[in-house]
Structure 1
Amino acid sequence: MAQIRSHIQLGKAYADELDHILFEVFHYLALFVIGASIVWSAVIAYWGMVVHGHATISDILLLFIYLELGAMVGIYFKTSAMPVRCLIFVAITALSRLLIADVQAHHQESLNLLWVSGAIVLLALSTLLIRTSSLPSSK
């Protein structure tokens, strides 16, 4: 009976190790696919700017979004920690892009400008809160 338990425990150990290996393979494969998709999208966006012969502020902000997403994937690849501040920076850049596009399209003030601007301020304050809460205390 003890020998059967030993074999079962050994089987569980092998299964746990295989589970860990499969998870790591999937993890790195998914990160590679996401990173490649970001690079591909950035190249397509840049090529569109080349074809048009110019880049707008909205186009440049889109490239910054791709840059921030790529940095986020790189950080996650190296540390296995999700950099929340990078996500907030992506959101701030996307909202700034929306704000600029709205102003360029309508050329007038609207309540949407106030809402988007307020959202940008809230996101900026949240990065400040995250940064100050992650600093070591000085006791």
Structure 2
Amino acid sequence: MHGLAESLGNLLVESFHYLALFGIGGITAWAGVDAFLGMLEKGSISVDDILLLFIYLELGAMVGIYFKTNHMPVRFLIYVAITALTRLLISDVSHHHRPDMGVVYVSGAILLLAVAILVVRFASSRFPAAQPRQRVLRDDEVD
């Protein structure tokens, strides 16, 4: 009974997992296409718009990587955050044309996130995730 309940639970969790991934991927693609069509309709494209498309691209890449590997690289989340803050910074400077402490705060946040990527990359190369050990077969065993 316990084995049946565990199998059913695993099936439901996996089903929800894949359904959610397809939903997130579809919504991301839809939002990207909608933003692109809006840019074409507007008749001009700014750097702000291009960075928005990069955000959608990074989100789509995250979904694809998570779908293939069942692992979410933290680096991609940080890349999205850096791109979003860069978009905010460019938009703020291009629209307001005045230097203030907000520019310094956003720039500092981008720098902090870049250092976080450096730390994550260093840590993952220095301390790789443990891979599950594979059982070594004897000569008389069959795979």
TM-score (norm. length: structure 1): 0.90
Q: Unmatched 5+ residue regions in structure 2?
A: 128-143
Cross-structure match for 1:117: 107
Q: CA deviation at 1:83?
A: 1.0
Cross-structure match for 2:78: 88
SS at match of 2:38: helix
Whose radius of gyration is greater, 1 or 2?
A: 1
Q: Percent identity?
A: 56
Cross-structure match for 1:45: 35
RMSD across aligned positions (CA):
0.8
List structure 1 segments (4+ residues) > 6 angstroms apart after TM superposition.
none
SS at match of 1:19: helix
Cross-structure match for 1:34: 24
Cross-structure match for 2:139: none
Count how many residue pairs are aligned between Structure 1 and Structure 2: 127
Amino acid at match of 1:27: H
User: CA offsets, 1:72-91, max 9 Å, x none?
Assistant: 01011111111100000000
Q: CA deviation at 1:48?
A: 0.4
Amino acid at match of 2:42: H
Q: 2:116 aligns with which of 114, 121, 126?
A: 126
Cross-structure match for 2:140: none
TM-score (norm. length: structure 2): 0.87
User: CA offsets, 1:75-122, max 9 Å, x none?
Assistant: 111111111000000000000000000001110111000000000000
Q: 1:60 aligns with which of 36, 50, 53?
A: 50
Q: CA deviation at 1:136?
A: 3.9
SS at match of 2:16: helix
